[in-house]
Chains A and B, each alone.
Chain A
Amino acid sequence: MGLIDAPTPTVVSVDPVNSEGWITTRLDFLVNWGRANSLWPMPFGTACCAIEFMATAASKFDLARFGMERMGYSPRQADVLICAGRVPFKLAPVLRRIWQQMPQPKWAISMGACASTGGMFDNYAVVQGIDTIIPIDVYVPGCPPRPEALIHAIMMLQKKVMKDRMSDSAARVEMDPDPASQLYIPPSRIDQLSEQFGNSIPQMRSGQ
């Protein structure tokens, strides 16, 4: 999914004679370049890993260098879900609902041993691997991962985004689970969850 090796895109041709400069490039490349460098993360911090995520976002490690300084605390305005910390079973349906409210194209990073595998919490309360609930693009090992590790994961994600092809829509198709499975939440329900509240504007997935 998006990881096929493609030739490096030819970037720019400039005509110095014409004062109205123009460039040619592949649309794919331009769009991906834009996307990869302005990913808006939705931090889903559930435990200690979130502290390390905060450090990553703060001035010392400065996530803004990757175009990610704008944290989207609304899933409807986010591109990448960063799950930092363990996911208890009670949170599983919540996480699922948050994921479903995010518009395509969207990506997910699982940060830390707990989110990725349950980590040391092999007990009755913790989901053993977040990928049993939502699809994950990059797993970050560590307990907690250092900010450098998270940044590395983000750069890997950027590479993945750069390799996206418009002709191959597979990566952008919403993976709707089988309606008979517990993962399935009807679109009407998701719309209802994203209902406007207070002074917010309508931001439903279905665009109503």
Chain B
Amino acid sequence: MSGFTVIQSGTAPGLPTPASPKNVPHRGGAANPSAEALKAQFGDAIRRVEVVWGETNVTIDLARALDIVRWLHDDPSQHYEYLSDVTAVEFRDRGMPIEVIWHLRSIKYRRFLRLKAPLAKGQPLKVSSVWSVYKGADWLERECYDMFGIVFEGHPDLRRILLWEQYAEGFPLRKDFPLRGRFSRAEQLRQALSANPEARYSMEELSIADAFQELPLDMRARIRGGESTGE
């Protein structure tokens, strides 16, 4: 483990004193200054900026998503050091594309920015992973993949995280997924019970990895043989 930096909230000079917002309009209001900066920096890749309930939503080009996120993270005038969520939305209106959404927070500037990138209709659901910028994206992207089937390219270990890896019914948060799943209850139970719960964890996830040398010999042999780790 390397050291860590303590980032204090709102240390950028000239910020107003924080106060609870009052009379926030549904639409309109002051946009996050980062939106203008993004437009200046990326031009056409920034498609739309809207302010909803005081929060700024920036719709961006899917292909430039990683560049934009990296710039927001690296540029000293933006300093978005915290990725609070990666998720997606599928709308009930079938004509609308699925959107991938990133929630970014700048602790230093006390800013919150929501980026949205629509996935083109009829194309494979693919987007670049922001794992190289924020390590915290690891599990968030896995969850998004698990629930929507969106593939994050460049993610180091993209597999299901909430459902078990052999889950074969599809992606539950998609609108075409039936609430009760696709299989019968009996079949669901059969498949669930035949899963090997020990096989869901990688060596790293099991803290066994650290204590490996202290384990009894025969147990070590079994784990090395892959029996209990499923690797």
Q: What is A's interface to B at a CB cutoff of 8 Å? A: 89-90, 92-94, 96-97, 122-125, 127-128, 132-133, 182-183, 192-193, 195
| Separation of A94 and B164 alpha carbons in the complex (Å) | 12
Closest 7 CB pairs of A and B: A124-B181, A89-B192, A182-B193, A92-B192, A182-B194, A93-B197, A94-B197
Q: A124-B179, A124-B181 are in contact. Are A89 and B189 (CB under 8 A)?
A: yes
Within 8 Å CB of B163, what residues of A? 90, 125
Whether A93 contacts B179 by the Cβ 8 Å rule is no
Within 8 Å CB of B198, what residues of A? 193
Within 8 Å CB of A94, what residues of B? 197
Q: A89-B188, A89-B189, A124-B179 are in contact. Are A195 and B169 (CB under 8 A)?
A: no
Interface residues on B, range: 20 to 34
Within 8 Å CB of A96, what residues of B? 193
A36 CB to closest chain B CB, in angstroms? 32
Q: A90-B164, A94-B197 are in contact. Are A124 and B192 (CB under 8 A)?
A: no
Question: Of A92, A122, A123, which contacts B189 at CB under 8 A?
Answer: A92
Q: A93-B195, A93-B196, A122-B180 are in contact. Are A127 and B219 (CB under 8 A)?
A: no
A75 CB to closest chain B CB, in angstroms? 14
| Separation of A96 and B172 alpha carbons in the complex (Å) | 25
A190 CB to closest chain B CB, in angstroms? 12
Whether A127 contacts B197 by the Cβ 8 Å rule is no
- CB neighbors of A among B179-206 (8 A): 179-181, 185, 188-198
Q: What is B's interface to A at a CB cutoff of 8 Å? A: 162-164, 169, 172, 177-181, 185, 188-198, 216, 219, 222
Whether A124 contacts B172 by the Cβ 8 Å rule is yes
30 contacts between A and B (CB under 8 A): A89-B188, A89-B189, A90-B162, A90-B163, A90-B192, A90-B195, A93-B192, A93-B194, A93-B195, A93-B196, A93-B197, A97-B197, A123-B179, A123-B181, A124-B169, A124-B177, A124-B179, A124-B180, A124-B181, A124-B188, A125-B163, A125-B172, A132-B189, A133-B189, A182-B189, A182-B190, A192-B222, A193-B198, A195-B216, A195-B219
Of B197, B219, B222, which is in contact with the most chain A CB atoms at under 10 Å from its CB?
B197
Within 8 Å CB of A123, what residues of B? 179-181
| Separation of A192 and B198 alpha carbons in the complex (Å) | 11
Within 8 Å CB of A93, what residues of B? 192-197
| Separation of A97 and B193 alpha carbons in the complex (Å) | 10
A90 CB to closest chain B CB, in angstroms? 5
Additional pairs, 9, CB under 8 Å, beyond known A123-B179, A133-B189, A192-B222: A90-B164, A122-B179, A122-B180, A123-B180, A123-B181, A124-B180, A125-B172, A193-B198, A195-B219
